[in-house]
Amino acid sequence: MSPTYRSFAKINLHLEVLGKREDGYHELRTVFQTVDLCDLLTIELTDGGVELDVEAENVPSGSENLAHKAASAFLERWAPARGARIRLRKTIPVGGGLGGGSSNAATVLLVLQELLDSPASGDELVSVARSLGADVPYFLVGGTAMGTGRGDEIEALEELPETEIWLVIPAVSISTAEVFAEFGKLTRKGGKSSIEHLAEGSISSWLASGNGWNDLQELVVRRYPGVGAVYNALREAGASEVKLSGSGATVFARFSDQSVSRELARHLPPTSDLVRARTLTRSSCQRLRLV
């Protein structure tokens, strides 16, 4: 029986949009954090070609799927005589700002690297990951990490302690491109101190105290009432921290009083999905990857 691997989601503990680059992308400074919500991937080597079977609605199973693209890119470069058969069971919501597709791609790269006895160097694997998407390199690292550039230049940070969080996914479709385009038209307010001015060793403790922010949050909460309703409900429910992940639509929350969080569902819009999750360190990501 072929092995099955967990492909974990992420949240953004902090997100700064620093401006638009010459290549059309935005310059970012973000802090990623792995959470234990995951998809499942079963991967086996074959004699040629890439086959992908997806257990989910409205998720492509052909060459446009990032998992398929990752397998094709890896095998074409390092094992052109081999193929892969992949089965993907989706749990991470699509388009929720949790990085599910990027995580799937990175997991495929890591597993093929293992199954084929590490034909790629670390830098080569990162290069392929970057070609697949801005978030993919992060998932090669996991845990608490900073992303700069497009978010694809990754620096591992001092780990935050594993803790319980709640993910709320509104029934809202958000266009990342539209959010960034509208954000670019806004005049940024001053007064916030960028985390680049913090000593590297203190970034994690700064974030653990709830000091991070998301530059896109105010815009998304205002533009998408479904997200705003969730954000306000979590605040009213007594969450100690409420934040948009990426460009949304997922909002995550922490509660200092866990007894309050157990009654969270009754505070939320009925069309929202509520997921209890836990943050993961890099060592936990590695230890728990194989099911």
pLDDT confidence bin for 120, thresholds 50/70/90: very high
Catalytic (active-site) positions: 10, 135
201-215 tens-digit pLDDT: 678 777 877 778 999
- Domains of the chain by start residue, with CATH: 4-157 (3.30.230.10), 164-278 (3.30.70.890)
Percent of the chain with pLDDT over 70: 94
Residue 46 CB neighbour total at 10 angstroms: 12
Mean of pLDDT over the chain = 92
Kindly report whether the global pTM for this prediction surpasses the value 0.75: yes
**pLDDT, mean of residues 224-238:** 94
18-27 contact pairs (CB < 8 A, 24+): 20/184, 21/150, 25/134, 25/150, 26/150, 26/180, 26/184, 27/148, 27/149, 27/150
The pair of three-digit structure tokens given for residue 188, joined into one six-digit string:
């940024």
Interatomic CA distance for residues 99 and 34, integer angstroms = 10
Reported as a single tens digit per residue, the pLDDT across 124-156 is 999 999 999 999 999 999 999 999 999 999 999
Mean pLDDT of 166-181: 92
Helix (H, G, I), strand (E, B) or coil at 233: helix
**What is the reported pLDDT for 1?**
73
Segment 47-92, tens digit of pLDDT: 999 999 999 988 988 899 999 999 999 999 999 999 999 999 999 9
Rg, the chain, Cα only: 19
